[in-house]
Copies of this chain bind each other. A is one copy, B any other.
Amino acid sequence: MAETLTATALTLKDIAREAGVSLATVDRVLHNRPGVRPDTVRRVKAAIERNSFQPHVAAAELARGRARRFAFVMPSGPNPFMQQIEGYLGEMSAWLSVRRLNVEMVATDVFDPSVLAASLEALSGDCDGVAVVALDHPSVRAAINDLVDAGTKVVTLVSDVPSSRRHHYVGIDNIAAGRTAGALVGRLAGQKSGKVAIVAGSQGLRDHAERIFGFNQVMASEFPGLSVLPVLEGRDEDDRSEQVLARLLAKHADIVGLYNVGAGTQGVAKALSDAGRDKQVVFVGHDVTVLTRRLLLQGVMDAAISQNPGHEARAAVRVLLALARGEPILREQEKIRIDIVMRDNLP
């Protein structure tokens, strides 16, 4: 009826005694530091394994003295989603400070590969870890790999660079997100048949392209009654998104669904309202912001696919910390889920 989940506490000293060496040697082996005879290494490793010894994090933290430095490299523009992430990092300051963790924000033009790459290079050396909202481009990949080679821990945030050797990606599976959007548009549109519009920032952005891909997958296979119109590009800007959508709405009277892949939500909503069709068209978009929250409550938007920015901020920090300490990562905990947010489960 009662069962205990944790083991007891051995220390470095115990291992040292058991392996017949000194503290320092065990420490060297533990951290793969050079200067130990291969044979000794083996003996020590054996002792560590045998007792499944785990060093006490608090003691290690205390002893190293030096605070750790992490950098967050983020887009410089006024992107509300990114601002939310920064906001949540700010809320963690007390948490960070009692752990002697320093995080520095670096704003940069993430859409210009060379600028981004330069910002990353500049960090080399004085950082233990960096989280970056990255563009998937060869020079960015190279910059990331250089950091990794220099011993810096790197996680990509929100947008991945799978071809690089980054240690971890903190963000959602965008293809699945697109599929989810598709299923929602299809199911909420009910029995109706008709046309479905897609507004994206740019199909050149990896995450947008992946979402559209997933969306189309579901549409084609599960909702044959709905036909998807060619993708509109609004560059994540309100004005432009509004214009292109307004034109499309004027042309097609039988649009029953709308998927807004990126930002520019304000403009999309305006086009819909101005056409007087905000109640008939099923409107699904991304992310919960002050704006989308309002649109959901008003019934203009029907659902938002969301990646919890607070979770992403905290996961990035925790993962960097775990990597720096050499601790295992709780993958399940750090995985970012695709949230479906409707009016009644607004966070």
Chain A interfacial positions (CB closer than 8 Å to B): 1-7, 9, 54-59, 61-62, 67, 76, 88-108, 176-177, 179-180, 182-184, 187-188, 190-191, 214, 218, 302, 308, 310-311, 314, 327-328, 330, 332-333, 335, 337-345, 347
Is B343 a contact of A54 with CB atoms below 8 Å? no
Is A4 a contact of B337 with CB atoms below 8 Å? no
Contacts of A190 in B (CB 8 A): 190-191
Q: Which of B3, B58, B97, B343 contacts A7 (CB 8 A)?
A: B97
Q: Which of B105, B180, B214, B330 contacts A5 (CB 8 A)?
A: B105
How many monomers of this protein are in the complex?
2
Contacts of A342 in B (CB 8 A): 180, 183-184, 340
Bound together, the chains give a CA A182 to CA B190 distance in angstroms of: 16
Is B340 a contact of A91 with CB atoms below 8 Å? no
Is B333 a contact of A310 with CB atoms below 8 Å? yes
Is B6 a contact of A96 with CB atoms below 8 Å? yes
Is B344 a contact of A180 with CB atoms below 8 Å? yes
- Best-buried of A89, A100, A107, A188 by chain B (most CB within 10 Å): A100
Contacts of A58 in B (CB 8 A): 57-59, 61-62, 99-100
Bound together, the chains give a CA A67 to CA B7 distance in angstroms of: 11
Is A99 a contact of B57 with CB atoms below 8 Å? yes
